[in-house]
Amino acid sequence: MKPFGSRFVFVSFLFLVLLLQNVAMPQVQASGEKPVMYEEAYITGSTPFYLLPASPLGKPTPSGKPTPSGKVAPSAKEAGYLQSQIKPYAVWQRQGDWLALQVKGKLVWINSHASTVYIRTLEEKTGEDRVINAVNMFLHHPATVYKDANPLSGSLMDIDPQRITVLKRNKEWYQIRTDYGPGWIYDGAGYITSALGVQKIKIVKPVSLYRYCDLIWPAAGKLTEIPLETVAYASTDSWYKIWYQGDFYWLYAENGEVQPDPAVFTDRKTPENGFVGNATFMTAPASTLQSNLFHRMVTNMGDKRELLFETFIVRPAGKEERGFTFDTYDAANPDAQLNLHKYAADIFASGDQIDQLERAALKVRAYTGNANYKANIIVGLPNPTGVDTNSKLRMETAFINDVLSNWKQFHPSALDFKGFYWVNELVPDSDRQFVQSVANIIHDQGNKFYWAPYYQAANAESWKTMGFDFSWLQPNQYFNADKHPGEDMLGDTYNLSRQTGAGTMLEWNWSFLDKPENIQLLNEYLDRGNIMGANRVSMLVYDGEGAIDAFFSSTNKSLDNIRQKFFAYLLYPPANTD
């Protein structure tokens, strides 16, 4: 690909001194002049650099000594090599074909015609910035965030592909929110999109694979196993990001190599999800009534007895229950492992959660006459923090073994152990490999691994690539709609569930009893879910620790309509007509 755009030259010695000090000079644009054009240089392979620009045409170099045509003056011999870098260098100065880049605080020169150098032109923003009300967009290529909309303003930080919060836009410049304050990214290449672009696809022709979504990078291989049905975990223009042979790759499909593949909701009970059906979280033992727990398992719909929740997830409901939480578990505490060992025993103690569930399930057997009935159990895992990865893995392994040992000793007759649940609701890139290692430990024991990420959480769309057997996706509309104004949280989440084979989540809490607007929020979940078919799949219900128990009493007639609608949503999904 050829360089494009206009050039600019700095000639002042004072300016050069300022550049060496990493001080950016303001650009002055007179009325009627063309916009200032900046340049960035991408280095796609080993590239020689020089301390001075050389002239291949026999003209004087800055040293004043002429050079023979096609040769480099002794004063401008190669000083080293730049290696491939996915983040761009700002071009500080140009002399003909020679570009000055800042490397470790010094200016060095490269030849723009080198096959490993790609030049991108950036246009100065003009006019007023368009203020955007904290819109979430998606970056698909590593990028440099600049302090101002100008590569010579200095780098604020480098970022990898991720969801970004856009504050302002001016042409192809985006001001985004960072931990270091607002900064600017230049796009112009289609790296930033308003939607992530997750979709089921079918690859029907051999296609080259790339590490990044731009043809300036060399191909990393070729996919020839066709036809192949898979998931594109992101897409932009003709680029698709897939998980292939244990890693992420981008493929470029401008000639019909990729076709859309119809996505459908999975069934509620599949081998992949462990036949879990509808699931909910177990409540704290001190506040759990046996009568309510029994009704969470089986309920009456007219003259029919229906199984309501078939699976229960056991984890600390909050710090007040056990003295710690699992979403961020302080593994640096000297008693951390001892506390987990004790917790793994406590949940099996008389009157605690596993014991409560066993007694309720035995009642369901007697009530339904089904001597083979069993409730499914999934146990939550802590997310250790404050220690190195090896220490975290040892802690997880010990806890998993404790739970399995206690389960074997307890030997319930009316419960069926399914596996473990990752309590933390996001997986940052830095934890991907750790979570995959945890998945391997669980699978080696013959069990399954579950997760329920929140709306637009890091890596939520690629849950399967981290070793999770099944995931329920949270829309979060009931609690966080005000944080995502204008976004279709239910539609986005349900579509992502269809494309990736995940379940859905239904969220609400006790506030619906005294806030009529929250009954409306629950109604929106049910209405939209029915239309889209989001209740065809396994659903995980979060009810604020037992709010569903309010539905088991018929004394509050004001709940009759929402009660019947809620139970019908869980029990009678529409037929799958996709």
CB 529 within 8 A of CB 569: yes
Please name which of 213, 146, 131, 224 lies closest in space to residue 178, comparing C-alpha atoms: 146
String of b and e for 197-222 (b: at least 16 CB within 10 Å)? bbbbbebeeebbbbbbbbeebeeeee
Q: How confident is the model at residue 69 (pLDDT cuts 50, 70, 90)?
A: very low
- Taken in order 523, 527, 528, 533, the sign of the CA dihedral is positive
Question: What distance in Å separates the CA atoms of residue 361 and residue 367, rounded to the nearest whole number?
Answer: 10
What pLDDT shows up at residue 259?
A: 95
Dihedral class, residue 294 (left if φ above 0, else alpha if ψ from -120 to 50, else beta): alpha
What pLDDT shows up at residue 257?
A: 96
DSSP 447-467: -EEEE-PPTT-TTSTTGGGGT
Please name which of 32, 37, 30, 36 lies closest in space to residue 4, comparing C-alpha atoms: 37
Residue-averaged pLDDT of the chain:
88
Dihedral class, residue 546 (left if φ above 0, else alpha if ψ from -120 to 50, else beta): left
Q: pTM for this structure? A: 0.86
Which residues 6+ apart lie within 8 Å of 246 measured at CB? none
Tell me the pLDDT tens digit for each residue of 371-391.
999 999 999 999 999 999 999
Residue ranges of the domains in the chain? 13-27+35-58+74-123, 130-193, 199-260, 279-571
Tell me the pLDDT tens digit for each residue of 167-210.
999 999 999 999 999 999 999 889 999 999 999 999 999 999 99
What pLDDT shows up at residue 79?
A: 83
Q: How confident is the model at residue 2 (pLDDT cuts 50, 70, 90)?
A: very low
CATH hierarchy code of domain 13-27+35-58+74-123: 2.30.30.40
C-alpha to C-alpha distances, 275 to 296, 311, 408, nearest whole angstrom: 18, 9, 21
Question: What distance in Å separates the CA atoms of residue 344 and residue 354, rounded to the nearest whole number?
Answer: 11
CATH of 279-571, one of 2.60.40, 1.10.10, 3.30.70, 3.20.20: 3.20.20
Do domains 13-27+35-58+74-123 and 279-571 share one topology? The answer is no
What pLDDT shows up at residue 363?
A: 97
Nearest-10 Cα torsion for 483, 487, 488, 494: -70
Mean pLDDT value of segment 390-415: 98
Q: Which CATH class is domain 130-193?
A: mainly beta
pLDDT of 293 over the 70 cut: yes
CB 475 within 8 A of CB 457: no
CATH of 199-260, one of 3.30.2130.10, 2.30.30.40, 3.20.20.70, 3.40.50.11270: 2.30.30.40
Question: What distance in Å separates the CA atoms of residue 28 and residue 23, rounded to the nearest whole number?
Answer: 16
C-alpha radius of gyration, the chain, whole number = 29
For strands 98-103 and 85-95, give the pairing: antiparallel
Report the interhelical angle of 432-444 vs 389-410 (nearest 10°).
30
